[in-house]
Structure 1
Amino acid sequence: MSSADFLLIFDDDRASFDAVESVLSEIKIDFSTESNPVQAIHTLHEYTQVPKLIIICCHTIASPGFALCEKIQSLDHDAPPVLFIIPEHDENTVLKCFEAGATDCIVLPRNKEELHARISTHLKHRSNSLFCSLYTEHVQEVLDKRTNDFLQDRNFYDYLNDLLNNSIGRRSFAEVLQEGLDKLLKLHWMPENCRAKLFTYNADCALFGECCSSGEWTAENSIAPEFLCREPSSVPPKTLCLTNTDSAAHDTPQLDLLCRRLHISIVHESKTDAFLYLEFPREHSFSTMEHCYLVSVTNTLGSIFRHKSAEANLHRQLYFDSLTRLPNRKSLEDRLAEILQEQWPASSVALCFFDLQKFNMINDSFGRKEGDRILQSVARRLSALKRSNVLITRLGSDTFGALLTGLEFEREARHFVKTVQQLFDQPFRSRYMPNLYLSCVASIAFAERDCQPNELIQDAEAALTVAKNLGPRSCVTFNEGMHAQAQKNLRTLNQLQKAIESKQFTVHYQPIVHSPTTTIAGAEALVRWNHPKHGLLLPGAFIPVAETSKLIVPIGEFVFRQACLDYPRLKELAGSPDNFTLNVNLAAAQLNDLRLSRKIVDILHETQREPQDIKLEVTETDTARDPQKAARTLHALREIGLKIALDDFGTGYSSLSRLIDLPLDTLKVDKCFVSELNNNAQKRRLVDLIISTGEQLGLNVIAEGVENKTQVTALFNMRCTFIQGFYYSRPVAVPQFGILNCTNVPPEPAHC
């Protein structure tokens, strides 16, 4: 029986009951009547819903209806309303009705309309009350669900924030992923006995590594599950794939019948860069929201991977040499700064520099690609010496370094240098030469108390500069004298800058004499520095320092311009000979100047000089640094009309092929050979060979550094056409030019 509009009437007063029955019949409401209180309670329990209204027709104050009302109120907190109908108004009866829990108490109306209105009003109030109660329950359910979702979302987003925060900083990618997976499985909505794996790929679609929730991070060469053994780019661009396969690929096949697998792949720029694999009990299922959570996790892990990959690439670019993969200068500086902040005994920290000698010849002869391959071979040999207390670095094109710590004796550093140099006893393999031998020079600088990283590096560089001048396999330990020299060079550079700005330079000229006629055929322009404190300085006091910077370029331009300006007067003082030329030295930095030809043309035009009036002198060493580039530059200068002389021939990287490749007019025999003509038969034969070679190639030959009559006679007998040296004249200013001193000039020591 439906109780949607059901009423229960307890009959204790027949007159009241008849009136109520008549009204209920008219409004067509089902009802049941009972006269026994116990039976009335039993009737309430028979129906699935509580009656909307209970009417008790009470005849006297001793009616059992009052006890029935009290019993109804104790049954349920949502007891139906109770309406008492009494035959006549009695204050005690009314009071007792409300004390028993009645909702209302009325005297039996005289007409049906009033009774009908009374009952209808109570039924309407009851319906509204029930609706409000149901709506309140619904709202509470929705609120509870949304609160639970919010807490779940908050819990999840706290996890994501944790994951992202952990990825920032110096924590490794492996650590972040390992912790991320472990925390994922601890989220309250994740099932128990769930296992997870994350696979990440690099930009080349190769498996970068895998992380397992129950194990360690495995980097590279990891074996992915069977479903991952394919190119990541072939994975369809969908983010969620739920499978129930019973694959036997797992290491515990007995679990396959009890588990389900969830695969989530994240595609970024048409390539999969993260793949999350979950294994969980078969009876568990994830909600749509939880699926979204897992996709977000995989997306986040993929983003972290991309971020960490970019961070790693940036770190490699900043701290490692791209060619050899060795730590670079920046890495050395940072490590050195860390070490020097610690407490360490004296001389227990040493910095060693190694420079490959004449390595530029490999680049020039075989090309830079082959040179790079040889450098990689050198790096591999040096890396074999790497220890916990040894940091091997690459500092420049052909310069390597080693930071040694924890030394007990200084000789340990020297022994290490000797070990490095012995690495070069074995030849290197080259595509163009089966046995390529290299050598290196080395320097050692020991750290002192309160030493700064840049100071120790400068010390090692200063000692390496000295070692380069000493020759192959030399090793120089830094001392304070080198430091003083380095400071002196720095002061000289500053003073040179001011000298250029205030035009403190002047040019002297040394005559070049035609040997058969002893007439002046030309001159060499040599720069001098009118130092405000030290007076007139010769080139040896400042040119080597200028060559270490770009200051040599403006100095060279000044000499060229001044020589062009002085040319007419010098030719006049020399007696206006035909083909009078001025020789001007060209520095290595000028050879590398892309605007050299343009500058020379501008100066010639400015000074109204003809190109054939000037001869440019270049050294063998400068042309050997980049022979192809040097040849191109000199050919361009020759096309302008300038003459080219090769200076110091025989002292540098002598090559007969270079005499053919370069557009030369003149060879200059260095004074170190000329000075030994009288007492060294081998050098005498070498000078004779150079002169004969020049004659065969149609080149003029100038012997420089001639200081006595014996040398002049010997050179004349060898058919040397031109002579330059103190025997005829020292370099002089323009007013003194043209006066040859043929008396016996006291010779000065000559050095190669």
Structure 2
Amino acid sequence: MKTSNSTTILEMPSSWLLHYFDEAPYSKMISALPCLQEAYLCVQTEDIRKTWYQRKLKAIILVVEKHDTLLEDWACRLMMALPEAPLVIISVEKLALDEVKLLELGIQDIWSLEELSETLLSRIMHHSIIRKQVEYQTRHLAHYDSLTGIANRTLFQDRLDHSLLHARRECHVLGLLILDLDRFRVVNEHYGHDIGDLLLKQFARRLGEIVRRSDTVARLNGNNFAVLLENVVNENMISQVAEKLCKAFSEPYFIAGHEIFCSISIGIEIASRVSYDGSLLLGHAELALRQAKQDGRNDYRFFISNMSPPDMVRASLESALHHALERQELSLQYQPQIRVSNKQFIGTEVLLRWTHETLGSISPVVFIPVLEETGLINKVGEWVLASSCRQHQEWIEKGALPSDAKLSVNLSPRQFRQRDLADRIVQILDITGMKPQLLTLEITEGVLMDNLQQGIDILGRLREIGVSIAIDDFGTGYSSLAYLKDLPIDYLKIDRVFVKDIVDDKNDAAIANSIIALAHNLGMEVIAEGVEDHNVLGVLQAFGCDHYQGFFFSRPVDPEKIPGIALQLFSDESFGFTGTTHPSMMKEK
């Protein structure tokens, strides 16, 4: 009868894959470790991945006779192709291996042949398998998209960097495809976000079935995906893959009883054309994607160098915005708001700022639309909401603002359509300790009118929480008065376009006066934006406007200056003090 240990020694090797990296002598290995005769010997490097999955193996032993940079590159590429596989290196002779470097690449263990016995090897392999399972599960949470299960942007960037190095060294053709689901927003609005999520999962599954298993497939954000084609024969093969993808995704999806058509557009760039520069590769592929969409969608385009300068700038902004938050390039400024009738300080409006490390300050008019298009607005918008709530609550707790001071946050169209918007807001309020009654959310008319019934439902849920609602830029959008009487709206904001010429332009004066009268008749208050001199303020006061903001009182300032402004007004006998804070991200005031 075999002992437990002998069973382990004799049976476990059959689940190992054995590969000789160089001219390592097979006979010497087998003589020292006879159990390796039971391991599956894979001679060709290109067969390792296929063999691993076909035979359902559990670990890989790599036998080496010498150490050079090729070993590190080979190990790195194997870890990319088989991230779940434990890899143990055995050197035939004692070598000066860079063990730290190899372990950082993901190697589980490194031993010389003379140090090993069968019992020790069995124990090493057993521990390596267990350790790799734990590492893989932890890494999977950090590097894979939680919805689709494919690589996320972080892992994609890591694989892109390694692939570019290898392609440059070996002079291989490397192609990047950026894919976008056409009119995915329509699917979300018509069928709901749950169906939209199921569509994304089916899309990722179908995408993985079409490309090779060695190709990297990743979800970059929202309905934006990437495919990294390595070691392709020529550029014509990349075109064939793109054609195959477009054809495959012209077929319908069948989800929850619905037949849904959702084609794709693809932008392509070749690594050698950009001198293997990762940022340029991504930027050019995104530009080509935009061109494919402009040309009618459901097609692919390679990057061409004669694209317009505005498109080139736009692509660069998209790439930079992906890193702006993590690089702490985004910040908030606050602009005071004042009550017209008695000049009381009623709070501030917070504005999103972006200071690029090389381009300097970039206007919100330029970068906010890019955030919206790419879907980054959800992440950035949540950061603005959380940061401003935290700051507002800190001011209140320190007595810098009164306890009834309010905070108003401008929601973008994408944010407003999030199915879990109310839950996200409640979570932020809970974390920051801020009362819901102190929060006002701003949306534009256009956001509501895109889907009025959905807007009514969302506003109703938000009002249940206890927050207030404001319509921003009133009069510049749809200006449909029918919805006003039925919606839970607390404030109307008059856009600066109707305010700046109110003294000299009788039409602007008439519009502003009408908006103020309408709002008051419906039980709402009015805030005028862009007040720059006392004459404009005088007209607004005559019309009965409730509140204003603009350069006449103060430009947007850094957060540390707000308590001083509030204290100055509070200490003046002619001024009062209440409080409202309003983080608008969308425009200059």
- Normalised TM-score (structure 2): 0.49
Q: Which has the higher contact order (CA 8 A, sep 6+)?
A: 2
Which structure would you say has the larger Rg? 1
- Normalised TM-score (structure 1): 0.40
